[in-house]
């Protein structure tokens, strides 16, 4: 039987993949969820196994409530538990609010906020029964500042909602030994943005450099650890001081 089990949405690429590989090196069993990145998911699956973890890659659209429920149930059938839920999936697009479509608006909430609710409901009963668990939700640095965002309005509002949902889940689940925290990255070189775009924002970061996926992985590793057992409802910025 596995030591611990993690379910990671958006686990095929970028930060999600890096978290999966870090946990695999600690002999966790990792279920990664992907929507369209089948080739990347297969590669990540192989990499998890190569690092000593057990792996499960599942194609699933967690913006659909029934699919999210089925995903959690599949992982629990496979390994008997979900010790950590890491909500890393989060579609993003940049478009002026007055040019945004209804479909694009809904996509930002369906992809970034609603799955945390669906999966939180799905994993909570098992975690409560075992009286232990970790849930980590990804927001974004400066989402707690509530500033105007003309070109990423829906995405930004959804990420602010993630923080409210995180704190609500933390309060509700704390009596059962479960912690729920948010990680809010700033500009991270995760492969999703062109290098020239990242280079252009360095001057806006007080630390003076772009973060790496390792910086985010370290934050997640801490929140999953026993050392963080009394950290609950927190929002951990990983941004080099940007957005504060």
The H-or-E segment that residue 55 falls in is strand 54-59
pLDDT at residue 141, rounded to an integer: 96
pLDDT at residue 1, rounded to an integer: 42
pLDDT at residue 193, rounded to an integer: 77
pLDDT at residue 195, rounded to an integer: 81
Cβ-based neighbours of 115, under 8 Å, separated by 6 or more: 9, 62, 63, 68, 87, 89
Q: Please check whether residue 195 is in contact with residue 146, taking contact to mean a CB–CB distance below 8 angstroms.
A: no
Alpha-carbon distance of 204 to 192, in angstroms, equals: 19
- Decide which of 3.40.190.10, 3.30.499.10, 3.40.190.80, 3.40.50.720 is the CATH code for 5-238: 3.40.50.720
Each domain of the chain, given as residue ranges in start order, spans 5-238
Cα 111 from chain centre = 11
Q: Please check whether residue 183 is in contact with residue 219, taking contact to mean a CB–CB distance below 8 angstroms.
A: yes
**For each of the chain's 244 residues, which pLDDT tens digit applies?**
458 999 999 999 999 999 999 999 999 999 999 999 999 999 999 999 999 999 999 999 999 999 999 999 999 999 999 999 999 998 889 999 999 999 999 999 999 999 999 999 999 999 999 999 999 999 999 999 999 999 999 999 999 999 999 999 999 999 999 999 999 999 999 987 778 888 889 999 999 999 999 999 999 999 999 999 999 999 999 999 998 9
Alpha-carbon distance of 118 to 151, in angstroms, equals: 27
């Amino acid at each position: 039987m596995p030591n611990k089990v993690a379910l990671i949405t958006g686990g095929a690429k970028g930060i999600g993949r890096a978290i999966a590989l870090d946990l695999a090196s600690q002999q966790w069993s990792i279920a990664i969820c992907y929507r369209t990145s089948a080739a990347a998911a297969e590669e990540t699956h192989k990499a998890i196994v190569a690092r000593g973890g057990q792996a499960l890659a599942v194609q699933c659209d967690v913006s659909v409530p029934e699919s999210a429920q089925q995903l959690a149930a599949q992982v629990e059938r496979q390994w008997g538990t979900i010790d950590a839920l890491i909500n890393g999936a989060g579609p993003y697009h940049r478009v002026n609010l007055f040019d945004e479509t209804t479909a694009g608006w809904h996509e930002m909430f369906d992809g970034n906020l609603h799955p945390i609710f669906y999966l939180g409901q799905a994993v909570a009963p098992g975690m409560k029964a075992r009286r232990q668990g970790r849930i980590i939700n990804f927001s974004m640095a400066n989402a707690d500042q509530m500033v105007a965002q003309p070109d990423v309005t829906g995405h930004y509002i959804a990420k602010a909602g993630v923080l409210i949902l995180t704190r609500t889940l933390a309060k509700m689940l704390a009596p059962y030994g479960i912690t729920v925290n948010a990680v809010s990255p700033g500009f991270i070189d995760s492969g999703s943005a062109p290098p020239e775009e990242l280079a252009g924002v360095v001057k806006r970061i007080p630390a003076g450099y772009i973060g790496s996926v390792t910086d985010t992985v370290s934050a997640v590793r801490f929140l999953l650890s026993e050392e963080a057992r009394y950290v609950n409802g927190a929002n951990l910025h990983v941004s080099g001081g940007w957005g504060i």
